[in-house]
Structures are given as structure tokens and as C-alpha cells.
Amino acid sequence: MISPEVRDAIATSFAAMSLWELAAVVLALAYLLLAMREKILCWYAAFSSTAIYLVLFWDVSLLMESALQVFYLLIAVYGWRQWKNRNGGQQSLHIHRWSPTVHLAAIATVALLTLVCGYGLQRYTDAAMPYLDSFTTWGAVVTTYMVTRKVLENWLYWVVVDGAAIYLYIDRELYLTAVLFVLYVIIVIIGFFNWLALYRQQARESNPPLMAESGVAP
């Protein structure tokens, strides 16, 4: 159950929310919903939302989260290029999966970078929650790259990263953003099952039954 204090804080945050923050929230939701449907327009929404959040996070001393937004601006352009077919505007990538070895390497990389950056932020800056801030940042970097390459498991990574971000934003009293990330977790779970169905469909289309390929009637 949400405590009355948190409910009041969320209501206050909503009432005080600027039009820019509202735009960032709406665009961030649009990005996820469009990505879930494999719509290339998701990258336009991502770029616009990111530009706004870059300023918002800097204002509350989430330095790594601010730096992450710069990466997001660049990756939105990269993702758009990856999803765009140069020969007609259709999506050229198919949903695919990473091997366990690649996943292990990705997780180990995030863990190492989290320790290094967390230590550096704790020692040399006044960043809030440096290790958790670093984890959500580097986790999001890897996961966003997975989205640009249409790796199925990106949605499962987002569950972990967004779940950690909820605690981070509550600590910084960004309650409205925390509520947004709760909604993110729900959407990414739906997104995983949606992409899983598409992945299986694409696999069937790429490997039709032998008799159908040869034209032999069943």
C-alpha cells in the first residue's frame, strides 16, 4: 500500500508538473508503445523525450542519468537508422535472440562499469546514490542497444533496470517519474510477450514447412 505521505507527494508533484515534464512523460510512453509494435516512429518520440529529461535530471543532481540522456539522443538516431530500410522505408531488422554467452558478457560488463563509475562518483562528486545511478545508467545503455538491434530479451533487461530506477527516483523525490517507471515495467512485460509472438511468427515465415516450399500438396 502507498502511504498517505507518498500519495500526497505524488499529487503535489502532478499539480506542480511543468508542461515540459508532462511532454517528456507522454513522449516516453509513446516511445515504449511504438517500440512494442515495431514502429520506427518510436525513435522520434525517444529523441524528443530524452532532450527534455536531460535537463530535468541535471537539475536534481543525477549526473549519470543526465549523461545517459546524451547517449539516448545519439542512440535514437542510430536506432532509427538501424530500423529503416534504405530501399523503401520498411523495417529491415528481424527480432532475434542473444546466446547465453553474449548475455553473460553483457551482464558482466554492466557490473564492472557500475563498480568503476559508482566508485568514481562517490569519491569525486556529490552525485546521489552513485552505485545505483551507475547501474541504471549502464544497464540502460546496454538494453537500449539491444532495442536498436531488436534483441528479444531487451524487455527482460528493462524489467530489472526500470525496477531499480523506481527506487532511485523515489529517493530523489521524483515521485511522478517513479510512477511512470512502474507503468514502464508493466508495458515492458507486455512488450516481451508481444515480441515473443512476433519472433515466433518471423521464425515460421523464414522456415516454412518443406512440403509448402516444394509445392507438394499435403
Largest separation between any pair of C-alpha atoms in the chain: 72
Residue 211 C-alpha cell reads as 512440403
Confidence band, pLDDT 50/70/90 cuts, at residue 88? very low
Domain ranges across the chain: 4-207
Question: Across residues 152-168, what is the average pLDDT?
Answer: 94
Confidence band, pLDDT 50/70/90 cuts, at residue 216? very low
Mean of the per-residue pLDDT values for the chain?
83
pLDDT at residue 199, rounded to an integer: 92
How far apart are the C-alpha atoms of 80 and 45, rounded to whole Å? 11
Confidence band, pLDDT 50/70/90 cuts, at residue 3? low
pLDDT at residue 177, rounded to an integer: 76
Question: Across residues 113-141, what is the average pLDDT?
Answer: 90
pLDDT at residue 129, rounded to an integer: 86
pLDDT at residue 15, rounded to an integer: 59
Predicted confidence (pLDDT) per residue in 14-33, tens digit: 655 567 778 888 898 899 99
pLDDT at residue 67, rounded to an integer: 80
Q: Could you tell me what percent of the chain has a pLDDT over 90?
A: 44
pLDDT at residue 145, rounded to an integer: 93
Yes or no: say if 96 and 150 are a contact pair by the CB < 8 Å rule. Answer: yes
pLDDT at residue 178, rounded to an integer: 85
How far apart are the C-alpha atoms of 157 and 176, rounded to whole Å? 22
Computed from CA positions of residues 78, 83, 85, 88, in that sequence, does the dihedral angle turn out positive or negative?
negative
pTM for the model stands at 0.78
Exposed (0-12), middle (13-18) or buried (19+): which is 23, by Cβ within 10 Å?
middle
pLDDT at residue 8, rounded to an integer: 66
The larger pLDDT score, comparing residue 212 to residue 49, is at: 49
Confidence band, pLDDT 50/70/90 cuts, at residue 103? very high
